Amino acid sequence: MNKQTKILGISGSLRRESYNSAALRAAAGLAPEGAIVETFELDDIPAFNQDEESNPPAKVTELKRRVREADAILFVTPEYNYSVPGVLKNAIDWASRPYGDSAWNGKPAAIMGASVGALGTARAQYHLRQMFVFLNVFAVNQPEVMISNAAQRFDAEGNLTDETTKDYIRQLLRSLVDLTQRMRPDAK
Ligand SMILES: Cc1cc2nc3c(=O)[nH]c(=O)nc-3n(C[C@H](O)[C@H](O)[C@H](O)COP(=O)(O)O)c2cc1C
């Protein structure tokens, strides 16, 4: 029996008018048939403290549950100082612990990101890919969705208006669903 592919989308920005959160909202409307994009908000997650990793805050327990329930993850990352924002890294760290109990292990994932600069989060995305090696997350390689000059691609209400970017997001989600189905036949 065919099953819907459940993709959990995580934006690495807490900003109210975030382009990355707006891109994630757009992705929810661009998912291929048979796939659904849900979101998890990273607000209210305290700074990681290894003393608490075996008894984490409720929000972290919820994050780990949502990650495990999802067939695949869509990371939508800003670029801060040429890397992944601390908010996203912090959430990744929490959900990777304690050792041997990482929620990320074996997950298929896709990456996209929006920046007001010309490189569209390229450097942050490659740092995220580096983390995936240790996390044993399997990321879609292409397309690389790096949304540069974001202020020109969204309207004042935060709607993605750039058709080329929408096409790239559609392709990315299609590739993510294909990868998920290849890795988990029951996710078809
Ligand atoms: C602390 C900080 C560091 C930043 N560093 C970069 C950077 O390295 N590269 C870049 O393209 N934009 C950088 N920016 C600008 C972001 O692209 C811009 O703030 C963007 O809107 C953040 O994503 P958001 O709209 O989803 O919050 C930085 C912004 C902040 C606040």
- What is 104-147 written as a DSSP string? STT-EEEEEEE-SSSSTTHHHHHHHHHHHHHHT-EE--SS-EEE
Model pLDDT, residue 3: 84
Nearest to 95 by CA among 130, 127, 120, 131: 131
Pocket test of ligand 1: the residue of 79, 123, 128 to mutate, having most ligand atoms within 8 Å of its CB, is 79
Q: Determine how many CB atoms are found less than 10 A away from the CB of residue 126.
A: 14
pLDDT of residue 110 exceeding 50, the answer is: yes
Distance of CA 24 to CAs 11, 31, 66, 98, 169, Å?
7, 11, 17, 29, 10
Please state, rounded to an integer, the average pLDDT across all residues of the chain.
Answer: 96
Per-residue pLDDT of 155-179, as tens digits, reads 999 999 999 999 999 999 999 999 9
Question: Residue 11: beta bridge partners?
Answer: 76
Confidence of residue 83 (pLDDT cuts 50, 70, 90): very high
Long-range contacts of 94-101 (CB under 8 A, 24+ apart): 94/45, 94/48, 94/53, 94/56, 94/60, 94/63, 94/64, 95/60, 95/63, 95/64, 95/67, 96/135, 97/48, 97/50, 97/53, 97/56, 98/53, 98/54
Confidence of residue 184 (pLDDT cuts 50, 70, 90): confident
pLDDT of residue 58 exceeding 60, the answer is: yes
Cis? peptide before 143, omega within 30° of 0: yes
pLDDT above 70 as % of the chain: 97
Q: What angle do CA 24, 28, 33 make, to 5 degrees?
A: 145
Confidence of residue 111 (pLDDT cuts 50, 70, 90): very high
CA of 83 to the centre of ligand 1 (A): 10
Q: Is 37 helix (H, G, I), strand (E, B) or coil?
A: strand
Pocket test of ligand 1: the residue of 116, 148, 152 to mutate, having most ligand atoms within 8 Å of its CB, is 116
Model pLDDT, residue 2: 58
What the block records as the tokens of 65 is 């549950």
pLDDT of residue 81 exceeding 90, the answer is: yes
What the block records as the tokens of 153 is 């691609």
Residue 21 CA: nearest ligand 1 atom is: 26
Nearest to 20 by CA among 91, 92, 112, 126: 112
Model pLDDT, residue 1: 41
Confidence of residue 186 (pLDDT cuts 50, 70, 90): low
Confidence of residue 43 (pLDDT cuts 50, 70, 90): very high
Confidence (pTM): 0.97
